[in-house]
């Protein structure tokens, strides 16, 4: 709600894209759409949504001339927080407004939030450019190694055969290694 903070965040996302362009990287920049405490008045929430749209409009305009892609990641549920990128429809609305954006699909976030991953895959399809891999037991956003929670990676990954970039998001190197070994054991990755 603070305009200086909003403008600073937008400037940082733009600067990251410009920097990646300067160094010749074809990488992507990953963002979350934003959030606000749910107890705020509906007028404040509406203003926060307007600010999110204005911020994404500014970022989109700046990224037009860059080789850097901007990806919007689905967020995870948090009690008493309204997240603007939690559900597939919210992400789809952003991507429809900004066709140059893609999506980072975070499997663990979808599972933890109780949103069937298939809903994201069906709605976003090839707009999914990056997949974040981590596990949880559906209660907390634990970032466990795949195979150590209750995510059905085999069922989900076979639907994402068009995607070529996967990121393991664990807290420790041994968990990253264990996660990679588990994913490789499924025999689904090219």
Average pLDDT over residues 113-118: 93
25-40+69-185: CATH homologous superfamily? Divalent-metal-dependent TIM barrel enzymes (3.20.20.150)
Q: Which residues lie closer than 8 Å to 61 by C-beta, 6 or more apart?
A: none
Give the DSSP letter of residue 126.
G
In this prediction, residue 153 has a pLDDT band, given cuts at 50, 70 and 90, of: very high
- In the chain, domain spans: 25-40+69-185
Q: What is the pLDDT of residue 67?
A: 87
Residues 152 and 126: their CA atoms lie apart, in Å, by: 21
């Amino acid at each position: 709600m603070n305009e200086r903070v909003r403008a600073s965040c937008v400037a940082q996302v733009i600067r990251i894209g410009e920097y990646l362009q300067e160094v010749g990287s074809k990488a992507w920049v990953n963002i979350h759409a934003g959030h606000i405490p749910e107890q705020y008045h509906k007028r404040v929430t509406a203003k926060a949504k307007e600010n999110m749209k204005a911020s994404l409009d500014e970022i989109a305009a700046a990224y037009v001339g860059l080789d850097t892609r901007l990806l919007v990641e689905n967020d995870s549920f948090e009690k008493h927080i309204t997240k603007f990128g939690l559900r597939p429809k919210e992400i789809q609305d952003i991507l429809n407004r900004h066709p140059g954006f893609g999506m980072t699909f975070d499997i663990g976030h979808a599972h933890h939030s109780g949103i069937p991953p298939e809903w994201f895959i069906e709605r976003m399809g090839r707009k999914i450019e990056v997949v974040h891999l981590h596990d949880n037991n559906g209660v907390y956003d634990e970032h466990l190694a795949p195979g150590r929670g209750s995510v059905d990676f085999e069922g989900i990954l076979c639907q994402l055969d068009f995607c070529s970039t996967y990121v393991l998001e664990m807290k420790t190197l041994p968990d990253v290694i264990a996660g990679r070994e588990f994913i490789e054991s499924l025999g689904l990755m090219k």
